[in-house]
Structures are given as C-alpha cells and as structure tokens.
Amino acid sequence: MNDSVHVHTLCLHGLSAELIEMELQYTGGLMQRVIMSGLPGSAIKEARERVRGCLVALDLPVPRKSVLINFAPADLPKDGNSFDLPLALGLLALQGELDARAFESTIVAGELALDGRVRSVRGSLALALAARRRGIARLVLPALGAAVAARIEGVDVIGVTSLGHAIDVLAGRAAPAPLADLEDDTQHDVGDLADVAGLDTPRRAAEVAAAGPHHLMLVGPPGSGKTMLAQRLATLLPPLEEERALEASALHGLAIGGEDARWISRPPVRAPHHTISRAGLVGGGRPLMPGELSLAHGGVLILDEMPEFPRGHLESLRQPLEDGVIRLARAGRAATFPVKPLVVGTMNPCPCGFHGHPTRGCTCTPFQRNAYRQRISGPLLDRFDLFVEAPSPSAQRLLSPGARETSNTVAARVARARVQRRATAPYPRDAGAHAALEATITHFALSGRAATRLVAVARTIAALDEREEACAEDIEEATALRRAGWVPAEDAAS
C-alpha cells in the first residue's frame, strides 16, 4: 500500500489545458467513502460511482477505507469525463496494485465505460500540445483517436484500450495499442472549377479571393451558380501550412470528438445553414466548443443566403474576422480560438431573387430591396474586399464554349501569387495607378479603409500576373470586382 499517490491529468479549456495534479490518500474513516476537494465539477463527482462500478465489474480491489482525493491547483474549476482513467489507476496504485512510480512524468486522460473499456476523449491533439508545453514526456490516452496526438513530436503517446490494458502497460507487462494509421483529411468532394459554366467575373473574383486571401460576396438570382462557385473556392487554396494544419486539426478534434479525430491538411469547407445557433456559428456552450467560424480556420466559410442569418449572428462575426481570433468566456474564464477563414457570402439581389433578371420580373418594392440588403450591416459588408454579381442563368451562357480552367490550373497560379504578393509593393508608385485610385475614391466616396482594401486587391491582381507593383489596370479591375457593393457618390447624395 502507498501512503499517497499523485497522478497528473489535463483539464481542457478551449484549446489550452491546465495541468491537474490528483493526490489520493487514505483518511481515518472506515466508511469506504471517496471524498473530493479542490473544486471538482459534477462530471468528476459522478466519476466516483462510475470508477467504483468499473473496479467491481472487473474484479479489481476497491479501497476498504475512506479516500481523500485532492485536485490541485485548488482554485481552478475542473470538469469533464477524462478524469475516469487517472482516478481508477490512482485508486489501484493507492492499494498497491500498481507501482506509483509509473505516473512519473506521465499524464493520464480517458473516460471509462462500466465494462472497463476506455472511451475516446475530445481534444487529444490539444492534450498532447499541452503536455509538450509542460515538458511532460508521456501521455496515456484512449487508443481510439490517439493517432492524431502522436503527431506531436516530443511526447510519447501511449494508446490504451481498457482499464486492464492500461494497468498492464503501466506495469510494463503489455505493449501500448498500435495507433491507427493517421488518415489525412481527403479533399471533400466539392467538385472542380471546370464544372462552373460562364460566370467569368465571379470565377476571376474567386481566383483573386483565393490568392489574397480576400472575403468574397456573390450576388445573384437563384440558379445563377453562385453557391456552386462558392463551394469550389476551397479547391483553389494551397494545402495548409504545418502550423495552420495543427491549429485546424486541434479545433476539429475538440469539436468532432475523439474517434473521428483527423489531421486536417486540406483547407476545410464549412457551410452552416442560416438556422444555426449563435454558439454553433461562433463557438460557446459547455464545455466550450469552437463554432463553424473556427472550424473553417484556414479554409472556406460559406454563408449561403447571408441576409437570412440573424443579424446578431452576423454582427458577432465582425470582430473575430478582424482579429483572427475569437474570445469566448465561460464560468468567468476566457478562452480563445483561432479564426482565419476565407468567407464567401452569397445573397439574392432582392427578396424575390429576380431583380435585374432579363425575363422574370421582380415583385419587390424598392423599400423591400433596400431593407433586404441592410440586413447585413455596412461595417460587416466592408469586410468583403470582393463583391460581384453572378448574372442570371441564360441558355446562351450555359452553352458558352469558353475554355474552362480546372481548379488545379488556377490553384497553381494562386500558389505562385501568394508567394509573389509578399514581394509586391504595398502601395503603387505609378502615376497612372494613383490617378485610377483617385478616380474610384471620388466616384464612390470611399472611406480610407475601403481605399486601403481596394489597393490590397489590386496588389493581389498584380501578384497573379507576376508583377511587383499594381498598375492602373489592376486598380480598375479591383474596382470592377468590388463596385457591385458600392453606391456612386452622386446617387448616394440624391
């Protein structure tokens, strides 16, 4: 028997995790109670019964005296189901069933089923990152979903399948479970740019959006292909860089759960429906989960029929898109999730959808048309550097024989442009470019911010053309790719 046993585990809060030390010791009482101190949450308190039931079911010894379990640091609220496995192992070590030295420089996390199987935990990658940050060499995790955590160098991830297996592995009697081959996230079947007929300007806008990156708004009637194009935007983006892939995979593992934890190397595509809850969109809940906005990190967030989303939802996107992170608070503690998606919004030109249609008449009043567009606030629309119209489908357009480039061809240009863009001058020095810029600023009474964004788009266009500086034509094209969202100064005044 050991006098006291120390087991370390981690408590996730958002993507970060606190190191928790559990100290188990016998108290004087003979009541066979397990007493907990140090702010254990309800799930941890329930773990007492679950763990006891599990020990009994497996014919493992149950302490015959009262046990005090103290969680440190004491002032930090702790909760979650991943305390089952460390608790069970700690109780066994306290009774001398396991050498307590097995817990040295080791973190244990896992949920137990009543039959002793170890269930996967959410956020295994985040746990491995937290272990590495603290210089802890070994992480004992449910084998299911541990493969993604094993990708973190410097931490030895030990996969276990059951409580019995965990005991044998820690005692050196059994080998860890082989971890599943880590499947790379395959490109979601979102089609190819070559599927999109016509739509020359929106297609060009998608290429510029991918190269920037720049958020893109597509306006067009139903059937114009705007949603189809939005879905294909991800095929133009390069694979995620290592750091971004790590963040995306950690976010995914937290939201999706252990068993489906994958390594995300391709830009994710998320397309939430407008009926989604606010927490579902931006993150929140209990435990704290990333929302669609974060799950699209490094990829594409499609907001189809954007004016149909509740205005409050849309407004809550603004600050995170500006900052690249979202701050969420739960139980007085703040957590942040990274947020760097390319946003593609789509909207109809009016509530009925047929404003500007060559053959079908719009039944909306000017007031209705105006109110529809104003469901998206000006400051949010300002985040969209590109704003183009997808014309209504017409037989002529669908039959247009124009050469359609494939996603691969455009993606190669985008990848080159992303490198080239770093070398392009932030502001054009060319007199012609200046004159074009002045003309656009005056014509649309642009704010300083809008003018800056216009130059940023012109710079991307120059980079796509492998030039180091934006010229007048680039400014003009950037204007053409944004003007559908601006009102000329003279119209605004009248």
Residue 205 identity: A
How far is 234 from 240, CA to CA, in rounded Å? 11
Smallest separation (angstroms) from Zn ion to the CB of 427: 40
Is the Cβ–Cβ distance between 197 and 404 less than 8 Å? yes
Identify which of residues 362 and 480 has a Cβ nearer to Zn ion in the complex.
362
Closest contact distance (angstroms) between CB of 352 and Zn ion is: 3
CA distances from 301 to 221, 238, 273, 274, 294 (A): 20, 16, 11, 13, 9
What is d(CA 456, CA 466) in angstroms, rounded to the nearest whole number? 15
DSSP letter for each residue of 418-430? HHHHHHS-SS---
Nearest distance, CB of residue 362 and Zn ion, angstroms:
3
350 sits near Zn ion (criterion: CB under 5 A): yes
Sign of CA dihedral 391, 394, 398, 402: negative
Q: Is 109 exposed, middle or buried (0-12, 13-18, 19+ CB in 10 A)?
A: buried
**315, β-bridge pairs:** none
| Stretch near Zn ion under the rule CB under 5 A, chosen from 69-77, 263-271, 342-350, 408-416 | 342-350
Interface with Zn ion by CB under 5 A: which range of 297-305, 334-342, 353-361, 460-468? 353-361
Nearer to Zn ion, 72 or 362 (CB): 362
Task: Label residue 390 exposed, middle or buried (CB < 10 Å: 0-12, 13-18, 19+).
Answer: buried
352 binds Zn ion (CB under 5 A): yes
Cβ nearer to Zn ion, comparing 32 with 370: 370
Nearer to Zn ion, 221 or 299 (CB): 221
Is residue 463 within 8 A of residue 420, CB to CB? The reply is yes
Nearer to Zn ion, 300 or 350 (CB): 350
Provide the H-helix boundaries in 426-468. 431-444, 448-464
In whole angstroms, the minimum distance from the beta carbon of 368 to Zn ion comes to: 7
Give one DSSP letter per residue of 224-247, joined into a string: SSHHHHHHHGGGGSPPPPHHHHHH
Name which of 54 and 217 has its Cβ closer to Zn ion.
Answer: 217
Residue 105 or 363: the one with the smaller Cβ distance to Zn ion is: 363
Residue 44 to residue 82: CA distance in whole angstroms: 9
Quick one: which H or E segment has residue 69?
A: strand 67-72
Number of amino acids touching Zn ion (CB under 5 A): 5
Nearer of residues 302 and 352 to Zn ion, judged by Cβ: 352
Report, in Å, the least distance between residue 372 CB and Zn ion: 8
Shortest Cβ 367–Zn ion spacing (Å): 12
Amino acid present at 425:
A
Q: How far is the CB of 343 from Zn ion (least distance, A)?
A: 25
CB of 159 to Zn ion, least distance (A): 58
Q: By CB under 5 A, which span of 11-19, 122-130, 288-296, 352-360 interacts with Zn ion?
A: 352-360
If the CB atoms of residues 27 and 374 are measured against Zn ion, the closer one turns out to be 374
The bridge status of strand 4-13 relative to strand 16-26 is antiparallel
Binders of Zn ion in range 355-394 (CB under 5 A): 355, 362, 364
Residue span binding Zn ion (CB under 5 A) among the ranges 300-308, 349-357, 413-421, 466-474 = 349-357
Considering only residues 220 to 279 of the shown chain, the ones binding Zn ion according to CB under 5 A are none
- The residue type of 240 is L
- Only one of the segments 75-83, 135-143, 156-164, 350-358 lies at the binding site for Zn ion (rule: CB under 5 A); that segment is 350-358
21 SS3 class:
strand
Q: Shortest gap between Cβ of 392 and Zn ion (angstroms)?
A: 12
Pick between residue 130 and residue 484 the one whose CB is nearest to Zn ion: 484
The reply to whether 464 sits near Zn ion by the rule CB under 5 A is no
Residues in a beta bridge with 338: 325
Pick the closer one to Zn ion by CB: 233 or 352. 352
Which range of residues in 248-256, 347-355, 445-453, 459-467 is near Zn ion by CB under 5 A?
A: 347-355
CB burial string 113-124: b at 16+ within 10 A, e below? eeebbbbbbbbb
Least Å distance, CB 426 to Zn ion, is 41
CB of 353 to Zn ion, least distance (A): 6
Per the listing, tokens 């949920």 go with 111
- Single-letter amino acid code for the residue at 152: I
List binders of Zn ion among 190-209 (CB under 5 A).
Answer: none
Given the rule CB under 5 A, which residues bind Zn ion?
A: 350, 352, 355, 362, 364
